[in-house]
């Protein structure tokens, strides 16, 4: 199977899984997981190109106390970006062209969270810049937000090979960076795009169908879930439901003003 057909199958499975939940797709998921394991092994055998983040060596006292890393002490997004941009904590760094930290207003009221960088994002080092990015800009515009006034970030900051879904261990390793971004931005509202973003942030196991339309609480911040724009490009008939979600999101925002 060539890589473009394999990519299409993985994307179609991701969409179906997002809508109907994991249970219906366990067999297919385990087949994809086997393929991913082989891919991971291939990537791991590649030589490392990037330099390592310098973490200070812990002394014996620090080993037994909760000492923060330098990046955890960051007081600005720029500083945080500088401290983590050479991260090598998970295998995704090996296929990375550019680290994708996030972009937008550092004091945004609205934080939009996607899954991870795609090919174009990896090339430019910016989130949501391809076709899905343009659709996201249009969706935001439709509910009277500009890209400049919101902040956009992802669950993982390095591109997964063939745009596959990040593995749970990759998400768990990267999410502390996103949490630190949230701590610095202090948004009033969060919009998760797609099931991976919702699962990563909210730790929910439900399907996208059951998460949509609800308002969750993430550490005191109202959070909603809708479709990922890339899924909407593949399944345009979902746009109507997305429109319902984002209108509700806008209403929630207006009520908070």
Contact in structure between 239 and 232 (CB atoms under 8 Å): yes
Q: Is 108 in the site for ligand SF4 (CB under 6 A)?
A: no
**Contacts to ligand SF4 from residues 121-160, by CB under 6 A:** 156-158
Burial classification of residue 62, based on how many CB atoms lie within 10 Å of its CB (0-12 exposed, 13-18 middle, 19 or more buried)? exposed
Joined together, the tokens standing for residue 116 give: 């991870």
Q: Is 167 in the site for ligand SF4 (CB under 6 A)?
A: no
Piece of the chain touching ligand SF4 by CB under 6 A; list 62-70, 82-90, 135-143, 224-232: 82-90
Q: Is 92 in the site for ligand SF4 (CB under 6 A)?
A: yes
The nearer residue to ligand SF4, 122 or 245, going by C-beta atoms, is 122
Taking the C-alpha atoms of residue 177 and residue 231, their distance in angstroms, rounded to an integer, is: 25
Piece of the chain touching ligand SF4 by CB under 6 A; list 15-23, 38-46, 89-97, 130-138: 89-97
Taking the C-alpha atoms of residue 119 and residue 106, their distance in angstroms, rounded to an integer, is: 25
Give which of 173, 147, 142, 120 is closest to 242, Cα–Cα: 142
Give which of 125, 83, 118 is closest to 101, Cα–Cα: 125
Q: Is 113 in the site for ligand SF4 (CB under 6 A)?
A: no
Q: Is 178 in the site for ligand SF4 (CB under 6 A)?
A: no
The nearer residue to ligand SF4, 116 or 187, going by C-beta atoms, is 116
Q: From the list 83, 113, 167, 174, which residue makes contact with ligand SF4 (rule: CB under 6 A)? A: 174
The nearer residue to ligand SF4, 87 or 232, going by C-beta atoms, is 87
Q: Is 179 in the site for ligand SF4 (CB under 6 A)?
A: no
From the CB of 243, what's the least distance to ligand SF4, in Å? 31
The nearer residue to ligand SF4, 88 or 163, going by C-beta atoms, is 88
Contact in structure between 101 and 157 (CB atoms under 8 Å): yes
**Positions of E strands within 180-256:** 189-193, 216-218, 221-226
Taking the C-alpha atoms of residue 125 and residue 107, their distance in angstroms, rounded to an integer, is: 21
Taking the C-alpha atoms of residue 70 and residue 133, their distance in angstroms, rounded to an integer, is: 32
From the CB of 116, what's the least distance to ligand SF4, in Å? 7
Interface residue list for ligand SF4 (CB under 6 A):
87-90, 92-93, 156-158, 170, 173-174
């Amino acid at each position: 199977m060539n890589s473009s057909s394999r990519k299409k199958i993985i994307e179609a499975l991701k969409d179906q899984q997002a809508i109907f939940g994991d249970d219906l797709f366990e067999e297919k998921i385990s087949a994809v997981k086997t393929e991913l394991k082989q891919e991971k092994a291939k990537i791991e055998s590649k030589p490392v190109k990037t330099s390592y983040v310098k973490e200070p060596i812990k002394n014996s006292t620090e080993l037994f106390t909760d000492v923060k890393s330098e990046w955890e002490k960051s007081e600005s997004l720029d500083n945080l970006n500088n401290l983590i941009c050479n991260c090598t904590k998970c295998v995704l760094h090996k296929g990375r062209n550019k680290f994708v930290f996030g972009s937008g207003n550092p004091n945004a009221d609205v934080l939009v969270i996607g899954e991870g960088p795609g090919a174009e994002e990896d090339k430019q080092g910016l989130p949501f810049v391809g076709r899905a990015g343009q659709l996201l800009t249009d969706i935001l515009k439709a509910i009277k937000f500009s890209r400049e006034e919101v902040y956009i970030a992802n669950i993982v900051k390095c591109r997964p090979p063939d745009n596959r879904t990040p593995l749970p261990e990759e998400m768990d390793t990267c999410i502390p960076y996103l949490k630190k971004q949230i701590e610095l931005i202090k948004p009033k509202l969060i919009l998760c795009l797609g099931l991976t973003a919702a699962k990563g942030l909210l730790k929910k196991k439900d399907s996208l169908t059951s998460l949509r339309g609800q308002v969750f609480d993430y550490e005191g911040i109202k959070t909603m879930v809708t479709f990922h724009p890339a899924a909407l490009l593949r399944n345009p008939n979902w746009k109507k439901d997305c429109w319902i979600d984002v209108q509700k999101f806008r209403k929630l925002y207006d009520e908070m003003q």
